[in-house]
Amino acid sequence: MNIGGYTGKILRVDLSEGTVSIEELEQAFIEKWVGGVGFGAKYLYDEVSPGVEWSDPENRHIWATGPLAGSGVYGAGTFCVVTKGPMTNFAGSSQANGYFGAYLKFSGFDGIVFQGKAASPVYVVIKDGKAEIRSAQKLAGKDVWETEDVIRSELNVGKRDVSVYAIGPAGENKVLYAPIIGDRGHVASKNGVGAVMGSKNLKAVVAYRGKRSFEIRDPKTLKEKNDELFEIAKVSGPIYQWGSGGGFSAVYGIGALPVRNYTTNIYPEHERMNGQYMRTHYEIRPKPCYRCRMAHVKEVTVTEGPYKGLSAEEPEYELLAAFGPQIGNTELGGVVMLSNEVDRLGIDCNEAGWVIGWTMECYEKGVFSRDDLDGLDLTWGNVEAAKALLNKIARREGIGDLLAEGVMRASRKVGGEAADWAIHTMKGCTPRGHDHRGRWPELFDTCVSNTSTLESNWGPVTPQLVGLPPFDPFSHEEVSTFNGKFNGIRQFDDCLGTCRYASPDPKLVVQCVNAVTGWNMSLEDAFTVGLRVVNQLRMFNLAHGMETKNERPSKRYGSIPVDGPTKGRNIMEKWGGMLENYYGLLGWDKATGIPFPETLKKLGLENLIKD
């Protein structure tokens, strides 16, 4: 193969037949789809027909890396999972960091396609260009940490010999927002990718470390550009010094911290919940991802309060938001405890936060009684009750069976005013850990996304990095224009197999890709690849019944803040105009949101025009 950075092989695992096979990737396919979400979008569209539900054995579960995974680029241990997911019953795309993306390539593969359903629980071991399906009967019901420990013992391997990604009880019980968790705390979390694993009786996947067997075309340039990326990443935000929780108070300052299910934006305790407080008051130990100099991932030991002595992975920002202000909790040690619990059980922290916050509001307002909640006292901030509720959700016990369906479905079943309090898009997915009424670009993006999470932008808005002008983040026209013009580059990121924290500058990232592969790709080419993925996923979703009338937020999600920095701001005032502007910029029909034939042709998707 005349491309660096690839093994050129995809592993196919048929769980129904209990067989594995290897497929060679054509060079033209690689150049067109690049990897990660690109590979996943193509396989999903080609192999999952309309009418196939998320839990159908015919659904595919695609794990894919990209050219930078295992290349030496800092933090390039990322992989992407693409499937038809249960939260929306449309496409879902989610990334996880850690070690698996690099190890999968060192084991001989650029990706895996899982299909069918095993007759009983199994796990898959990948090593030296081969794969084996093993019984996971002894792992049934075990949490993620127990699963990883048992597998490592069974394989007789050390800490960094293998990377293990698994589901917990929530995935086995098909909780609709169950993620896949591995390497002691890294999560592919969106659109219930773990529930799909559970529907296939696939408990875990293991990749051995192995040795790099693919070529790096220009190692000297790669090192130079990689070091430049690191220097930019170090100063581009608080991540290097304070972790993702370092932005917690800044998010509060712009009115984007979710507090008590969006009923207020006032949370004066934010400075005792942020990364700065945690790293100056708790014991901290480094726990970096694969070859990552950013090393923002840490382990912590709580040194004060009721959870003193508890050791766990340091909560990321989204865990702090979900189990701090969103559920009315002001005890940081309680966040560490709940973060550890949600990872062991295999539940997405964001959806868990929205579900628990909504349930607490319902309890406060008399919609749920204590008897309805199996005796739990779900007053705001009661972290022990929240822990008990998470365990009920993971096992679908009592009230947990309702809440395992996610906040949209649960709220609709309860009905009445309670349905208006739920935070979600009308397609069924939920926002990441922010009050997006203070971050309009992300609110709009979440609602129109084709991946069931953020698609066009992420984190700090950085138009200057791709030559776009600054804009007013509360202007309906300017926000929709930015999202339309910026869309594509973040999906290109998700093709590559690297962490965005470690590679924030798109131009340097493209140069790293060229150094690995030997290509001569430009920033414009990168946007084209990303937009190809966007349109491929959109055509999949439309074929599977997506209606553009549902590209909007729920009543509470799109409501007007009653206090705080964004008090009175109303994104819904001109929502229709935002959609028309955005659709037009993407080359889609302004009324229907369907891509025009000429748009598909320009992106090399002529084969989709007939659909």
Digit-coded pLDDT (tens) for 542-589: 999 999 999 999 999 999 999 999 999 999 999 999 999 999 999 999
**CA–CA separation, 457 and 77 (whole Å):** 21
The pairing of strands 79-84 and 186-188 is: unpaired
Query: What letter represents residue 162's amino acid?
Result: V
Q: Could you tell me the pLDDT band of residue 461, with boundaries at 50, 70 and 90?
A: confident
**CA–CA separation, 160 and 137 (whole Å):** 25
CATH no., domain 260-421: 1.10.569.10
**CA–CA separation, 37 and 34 (whole Å):** 9
The pLDDT of residue 516 is 98
CB atoms within 10 A of CB 1: 15
Q: Could you tell me the pLDDT band of residue 460, with boundaries at 50, 70 and 90?
A: confident
Q: What is the pLDDT of residues 291-314, one digit of tens each?
A: 999 999 999 999 999 999 999 999
All CATH 1.10.569.10 domain ranges in the chain, comma separated: 260-421
Collapsed DSSP state (helix, strand, coil) of residue 298: strand
Q: What is the pLDDT of residues 9-45, one digit of tens each?
A: 999 999 999 999 999 999 999 999 999 999 999 999 9
Decide: residue 499, CB within 10 A, 0-12 exposed, 13-18 middle, 19+ buried. buried
The pLDDT of residue 281 is 98
Query: Is 80 exceeded by the pLDDT of residue 1?
Result: no
The pLDDT of residue 590 is 97
Supply φ then ψ for residue 94, to 5 degrees: -145, 140
CB atoms within 10 A of CB 253: 14
All CATH 3.60.9.10 domain ranges in the chain, comma separated: 9-208
The pLDDT of residue 8 is 97
Query: Is 80 exceeded by the pLDDT of residue 381?
Result: yes
Q: What is the pLDDT of residues 80-107, one digit of tens each?
A: 999 999 999 999 999 999 999 999 999 9
We find that the CATH architecture of domain 436-503+522-608 is: Orthogonal Bundle (1.10)
Contact 432, 348 (CB under 8 A): no
The pLDDT of residue 212 is 86
The pLDDT of residue 611 is 84
Task: Tell me what the mean pLDDT of segment 109-126 comes to.
Answer: 98
Share of the chain above pLDDT 70, in %: 100
Query: Is 80 exceeded by the pLDDT of residue 2?
Result: no
Range 9-208 has CATH code 3.60.9.10: yes
Q: Could you tell me the pLDDT band of residue 213, with boundaries at 50, 70 and 90?
A: confident
The pLDDT of residue 459 is 82
Decide: residue 84, CB within 10 A, 0-12 exposed, 13-18 middle, 19+ buried. buried
Q: Could you tell me the pLDDT band of residue 65, with boundaries at 50, 70 and 90?
A: very high
Decide: residue 369, CB within 10 A, 0-12 exposed, 13-18 middle, 19+ buried. exposed
The pLDDT of residue 217 is 97
Share of the chain above pLDDT 90, in %: 97
- Say how many residues make up the chain: 611
All CATH 1.10.599.10 domain ranges in the chain, comma separated: 436-503+522-608
Task: Tell me what the mean pLDDT of segment 144-156 comes to.
Answer: 97
The pLDDT of residue 352 is 98
The pLDDT of residue 458 is 85
The pLDDT of residue 577 is 98
